[in-house]
Amino acid sequence: MNIIKTKLSGVLQIEPQVFGDARGFFLETYSEQRYRKSGVDYDFVQDNQSRSSQGVLRGLHYQLKHPQGKLVRVVRGSVFDVAVDIRVGSPTFGQAAWTILSDQNHYQFYVPPGFAHGFCVISDFADFEYKCTDYYYPEDEGSLLWNDPQLDIPWPVVNPELSDKDKKALCLSDIPKNQLPIYTSI
């Protein structure tokens, strides 16, 4: 397993070891012991899966009182995946990191609690799986505007398909600080 640190502390790109031959491939998608040693030192309590078609953009989502860390991967297709540091007081507040996740590269992306997360499907469709460090509470969720100019994210779409909730999301500078997670150094 190869761990690549991004410019955002705690956000990791994980490249698992893939064993393949003419029959197909095998990879370990999660091992608590191995991942803890690599910096993903959280307990996961919920697994989710979504399927989306090309051009769908989900995010940028976060939870305030129950922040979720997410270990994400794509089992079919490909996505442009993004993490944004929205923790008030963080040295990297308002900065983003991104990667391409696909069924070809088998990469994973770890997004710690307190970050906003989103992805855009760049293949015909994508099956997206993620492990979460806390349960989902719809009443606790916030949305950050996907194309907030302050974030300077190079999204691969101009007019993505968005949910009604994501269409109403705010720019980071318009979200009151008391409605964002607080940075605590480790």
The reported pLDDT for the residue numbered 161 is 98
Q: Would you call 116 exposed, middle or buried from its count of C-beta atoms within 10 A (0-12, 13-18, 19+)?
A: buried
Torsion of CA 118, 119, 125, 131, to 10 degrees: -60
DSSP 161: B
Q: Is 106 in the active site?
A: no
Active site residue 130: yes
Instruction: Please give the pLDDT value at position 31.
Output: 85
Q: What confidence tens digit (pLDDT) does each residue in 157-181 have?
A: 999 999 999 999 999 999 999 999 9
Per-residue pLDDT at 28: 86
Q: Tell me what pLDDT residue 185 has.
A: 75
pTM above 0.85, yes or no: yes
**Cα atoms in the 13 Å half-sphere on the side-chain side of 67:** 18
Residue type at 185 in one-letter notation: S
Average pLDDT of the chain, as a whole number? 95
Question: CB of 78 within 8 A of CB of 182?
Answer: no
Catalytic residue among 61, 106, 107, 117: 61
Contacts of 91 (CB under 8 A, 6+ apart): none
pLDDT score for 39: 85
In DSSP notation, 116-130 reads EEEEEE-SSEEEEEE
Which pLDDT score is estimated for 54?
98
The pLDDT tens digits of the residues spanning 19-53 come to 988 998 898 888 889 889 888 989 999 999 999 99
Confidence at residue 169, expressed as pLDDT on a 0 to 100 scale: 97
**Residues belonging to the chain:** 186
Q: 105 or 41: whose pLDDT is higher?
A: 105
**What's the pLDDT score for residue 186?**
58
- Lookup result for tokens 């398909």: 161
Section 140-150 average pLDDT: 96
As given in the structure block, the two tokens for residue 65 are 């009182």
Tell me the mean pLDDT in the region 132-149.
96
Residue burial 1-19, b: 16+ Cβ < 10 Å; e: rest: eeeeebebbbbbbbebeee
Q: Residue holding tokens 């009604």?
A: 164
